[in-house]
Amino acid sequence: MIQSLAAAARANIPSIGVCAVCISRNAETWDIADVPFYNYTEGWKPFQHEQTTERVAYLANRRNAAVVRALDLFPDTQHVLMIDSYYLHQAEQIRGLIGDYAEMTSSNHPGGCILGASTWFYDLRRVRSKYRFYDGWTTPEGNLLKLSEVERGGGVIRVKSIGSCYIYPRSIWEKNRYGVVEDLHGCEHNWLCEHSGLPVYMSLGRRLSRGPIRYPWVKRIRVSLHLGRFFGR
């Protein structure tokens, strides 16, 4: 039964021409065989997380080079899934995000949209609510979110920009590419999103974890048995 459910999940990815693109230092692997994947490793430099023009320009240039190469390799690509290496193996959430995007663009947003997952990390410095939103610079709308409330409510929220793992039409990159916002209110993702002219959404139902996921023991059992689909998230 578990194997048949896993096979069904793999079959649920719509054929909408998505190609996953990742920039990283080292060669990465990809678990979703039915989605083309390109990993760009050239030109890596030891930047940290500084919010500087130099770092954003460096990231923008690498992402642009990665998309150029990916489109050369997979010319039938219609939509780009830009994803950071931290999240490559969270396949269930990524599959769900692709499915949600396909549904949104075929119904409510036939003109296109940008949809990304919400990202979370375990903050040891906090006494309570240790999980907190990660991409606050790119998506400040997420800074006040609480994971416990997000898990209960799910859904999507409208944001100005999204990073880490998101899908957008190929045509948006061809018109604008990645760049640097002059006042550094955000990074290269903000440039692409804000110049796209499309509505941008963050999914609260598709959640990615940066670092180890520390579930309570009951939830660990559910996750290991893939029972979440029966009990909700």
pLDDT, position 224: 44
Per the structure, the complete domain to which residue 114 belongs is given by 2-231
Q: Which two tokens stand for residue 136?
A: 């606050």
Q: HSE on the CB side for 64, CA within 13 Å? A: 16
Which comes out higher in pLDDT, residue 151 or 217?
151
Residue type, 73: L
Q: How many domains does one find in the chain? A: 1
Whole-angstrom Cα distance, residue 5 to residue 123? 33
Confidence of residue 108 (pLDDT cuts 50, 70, 90): confident
Note whether 202 and 141 are within 8 A (CB).
yes
Whole-angstrom Cα distance, residue 4 to residue 224? 15
Query: pLDDT at residue 173 above 90?
Result: yes
Percentage of the chain with pLDDT > 90?
A: 75
Whole-angstrom Cα distance, residue 45 to residue 58? 8
User: Looking at residues 108-123, what average pLDDT do you find?
Assistant: 92
Give the chain as a DSSP string.
-HHHHHHHHHHTS--S-EEEEEE-SS----S-TTS-EEEE-TT-----S---HHHHHHHHHHHHHHHHHHHHH-TT--EEEEE-GGGTT-HHHHHHHHHHHHHHHHTT-TT--EEEEEEEEE-TT-SS--EEES-TTT-GGGTT--HHHHHHH--EEEES---SEEEEEHHHHHHH-S---TT-SS-HHHHHHHHH-S-EEEEEEEEEEES-----HHHHHHHHTT-HHHH--
Which comes out higher in pLDDT, residue 133 or 225?
133
Residue located via tokens 């193996």: 89
Residue located via tokens 């955000």: 186
Query: pLDDT at residue 216 above 90?
Result: no
CATH code of the domain containing 80: 3.90.550
What is the pTM (predicted TM-score) of this model? 0.84
Q: Which two tokens stand for residue 177?
A: 């590419």
